[in-house]
Chain A
Amino acid sequence: MDMSYLDLLMAQQEEVTEAEGGGGVWVVADLANGTVAPVTLEALGAARTLADALGAYVYGVLLGDGVSDGSTALTTSLAQTLYQAGADGVRVADHPSLARFALEPYLAVLAGLFEAEQPEVVLFGATGAGQELAARLAQRLGGGLIEHVTAVRLDEATRTVEATFPIYGGEYSEIAACPEARPQFLTIEPRAFPAPFIDTYRQGEPTMIEVDPVEPAVRVLGPADDFEPPALPLAQAPVIVAAGRQAGDFELVHQLAAALGGRVAGDRGARDAGWIGPQQVVDVRGVTVAPQVYVAVGIRGDTFHDAAIAESKFIAAIHPDPDAPIFQVADLCLEAEPAEVLPALLEALEK
C-alpha cells in the first residue's frame, strides 16, 4: 500500500459541525491530574453506541478552572480529547469557583445547562463527584438514575436505556430502565466499558457556558491528620499477594503487593522461611481469606492452603511445576519461575 497516500487521506482533518442543542446523550467529564479521566473516555464510548442507536448526538461537558484557556496547550486539549473520543459537541464552564469539585457550583452550571438542553441520557463516571452530582441532578430534574452501570443496551422502541449493574458486589447483575422520566441518568463503572477509539484528527470548537458563581455549602477545613481508618484484617483484605517456598526473591513479592495496593501473606512454607509471621499464614490452620484478587507466587498448593482461598473471586498462580495442585483452583496459571515473571510483571503494571 502506498503509505504516503494513506497519510494524505488521514491528514484531511475532520471538522465536527457543532451539533445544535436539544436531546442527545451527554457525558459530564471527570478530570484527574489535569487530564480527562479514563472513565470519561469509556463513558463517551458508551455514549456513542447509545447515540448512534438513538440517532442523536453525543455531547461532552467540561467544568473546571483554566480548562479552556487557549494560552496553554494542555488545557485546550481537554475539550479536544472529548471530540477525539467521539463527542459531537462540547460545552465548557471555566471559572475559578469550579477549580475543584464542589457540589453547589457544579450543580448550578449543570442544572441550568440540562434544563435548557433537555438531554435524553446523561452519563457520569461512577466517581465520588459523579455520584453526588448525578443523584442531585436526577432529583432536581425529575430523572431516573442507575448507578455503577457495567453494560447498556438501548430499547429502541421507547428510546430507553437498559442498564446492567452489579448486585452483592458482582455475584450477579440486575438490569433496570427508566422508561418515561427524562433525562435518564447513569453513572458508568470504571473499567467496565472499553476505551473508545481516539480519532486524533477529530476536532471542534467548544461552546462556553456562562457561570454565575455559587458558594459551596460544604467547606474543606484541611487534611484529617489525626484520622486513622479502621484496620482491615487479612481475612477481609480485597487484594492479597501470597508467597510460597518457590517464590524466590521475597522483596519482589512485597513490591507486587505494593503495586496492587494489596496485603502480603504466604503459606506455611513462607512462614518456615521466615518471610511472614504466623498471622499472615493462609491455611485452614491459619487465616482463611476471601479477596477479590489472590496472587499465589511460588505456592505449590494443597487442600489446607487451597481451602483457605476457596472464596476468592480471582486467583492467579505462578509456579514452575506444571503439576502443582494450585493450578487446579487458580483462574490464571503461569507455569514459570516467579523470578522470571515478577520483574516483567512489575514493569508491565507500571505502564
Chain B
Amino acid sequence: MDFTFAPEHVALRRMIREFAKNEVAPIAAEIDREGRVPFETLKKLAQIGLLGVCFPQKYGGMGAGETGYCILMEELGRICTSTATNVGAHIGIGAMSIYLDGTEEQKQKYLMPLARGAKIGAFVLTEADAGSDAAAIRTRAVRDGNEWIINGTKTFNTNGSFAEIVTVMTVTDPTLGAHGGMTAFIVEAGTPGFKVGTHENKMGIRGSSTAELVFEDVRVPHENVLGKVGEGFISFMKTLDMGRLTLGAACLGGAEAALEASIHWAKTRKQFGAPLAHKQSVQWMIADMATEIEALRSLVYRVAWMVDTGQSFTQLAAMCKMYGSEVASRAIDTALQIHGGLGYSRDYPVERNFRDARIAEIFEGTNEIQRIVIASNIFRQHGVRIRP
C-alpha cells in the first residue's frame, strides 16, 4: 500500500495553500461580516483552472481527479468555509451533475464553461416541504411539444442566485414518485420566468449565497433534459454521493484549522504560571482532536482513491460526510473552549469557524439521512432490505 500522494497532487496542494493564504485568508472575515460572495476569488480560481479541478482536460477541466478536488476543498476549508461552500456547490454538485449524466453535446455546451470557470453552476433540489424527503418535491415540468414548462419554488439553494447554469430537479409524473417520476433539467440564468427570490439570513457561511429560486412558466428545450426523462432521482443520488466525499474533505480542512489554532493558543496562553499546553485537560482535548482528524484524513483520501480508480463508494462517501461534519463540529467546539473568552470575540476567527461548521451536519443530506444510507447499504449486503 502506498499512502503517498502523487507528485502532481503534492504540487497542487502547495499551489492551493499559497493561493488560500494570499487570496482567501485576507478577506475571510470581511466577507462574513458583510455577507457577500467573494466573486473576485471565484474569478482568480477560474483563471488558474481550479473551478474544474476534477474534470477531464478534454472538458476544460484540470484532470486532477477526485483526489485533486478533495485537496482543493481541504485547503479552502482550512481557511474559509464560505469560499469552500461556493466552490463546492459549483464543482461538486452543479457541474458534477452534468459530468455524470450529460450527453456529449451537453458536456460541450455546459460542462466546458463550468469547468473553465467562465460560468458558475448550481444544483437545485430542495424545496420548503422537501428537504430530507427529497422525493417529495413538487416543482413540476410539463411537456409542451419540443419544450418543457417548469413551475415551482426551490429553497435554501447555494449559488443559485448568481449561477449562470443550474441543474433543476422536477417532477414529471406525480403518480410515479421517485421511481420514474422525476427528471433533471439544465436551465440557464436569464431564461424568462427563472427568478431569484428571498436570500436567507444565515448563522454561518455568510460569505455564500443561499436563496429561493422561483420558476414561473420557465421554458427549456427538450435537449436540456439531463439524463433520461423519469430517471432524475437516480441522477441526483449519484451527484449527491460525489458531493458528500468532498464535503468531508472541506470538514477535514476546518477541523485541521481548529487544531492548529488550539495548539497555537495552548502554547501562547499562560494561566497559573504555565502555558495551557501543560494542563492535562487541554492535552487530552488536543490528543482527541488530532486522532479524529487523522482518522478522517485517512477515510477521505482512501475514498477519493476509490472514486479515482472506479470503485463503488456510496456507503463510504456517506461516512465521510457524516463523520467529517461531526469531527469538524467537535473540533471547533473544543477549540472554542480552549480559546476561552478570546474564542467568543467576533474579532478572532474561532467564532466565525464555529458558526460556519455547524451547517455541515445539516446540508448535503442531513447526518440522519447519511446514517440511513450507511445502514441500508450494510444490511443490504447482508440480505436485508430496510423498509423506509
Contact = CB atoms under 8 A, between A and B. Distances in A.
Interface of A: 283-286, 303-304, 307, 310
Contacts of A283: 347
Interface of B: 268-270, 342, 345, 347-348
A284 B270 contact: no
Contacts of A286: 347
Contacts of B269: 303, 307
B260 to A, nearest CB: 14
Nearest to A281: B347
A298 to B, nearest CB: 22
Contacts of B345: 285
A303 B342 CA distance: 10
B44 to A, nearest CB: 18
Contacts of A307: 268-269
A310 B268 contact: yes
A303 B268 contact: yes
Contacts, number: 15
Nearest to A307: B268
Which 10 pairs show the lowest CB-CB distances between chains A and B? A285-B347, A307-B268, A285-B348, A285-B345, A303-B269, A284-B348, A304-B342, A284-B342, A286-B347, A310-B268
Which of the listed residues A283, A284, A310 has the most CB atoms from chain B within 10 Å of its own CB?
A: A284
B194 to A, nearest CB: 41
Nearest to B348: A285
A283 B345 CA distance: 12
Contacts of B348: 284-285
15 contacts: A283-B347, A284-B342, A284-B348, A285-B342, A285-B345, A285-B347, A285-B348, A286-B347, A303-B268, A303-B269, A303-B270, A304-B342, A307-B268, A307-B269, A310-B268
Contacts of A285: 342, 345, 347-348
Nearest to B268: A307
B242 to A, nearest CB: 38
Nearest to B347: A285
A96 B38 CA distance: 59
A310 B270 CA distance: 14
A304 B348 CA distance: 11
Contacts of B270: 303
B351 to A, nearest CB: 11
Contacts of B347: 283, 285-286
A222 B342 CA distance: 53
Nearest to A233: B26
Nearest to A304: B342
A90 to B, nearest CB: 52
Contacts of A303: 268-270
Nearest to A285: B347
A303 B268 CA distance: 8
Nearest to B341: A304
Nearest to A283: B347
B212 to A, nearest CB: 35
B140 to A, nearest CB: 51
A221 B348 CA distance: 49
A303 B339 CA distance: 12
Given A285-B347, A286-B347, 13 more contacts: A283-B347, A284-B342, A284-B348, A285-B342, A285-B345, A285-B348, A303-B268, A303-B269, A303-B270, A304-B342, A307-B268, A307-B269, A310-B268
A303 B275 CA distance: 11
Contacts of A310: 268
B4 to A, nearest CB: 29
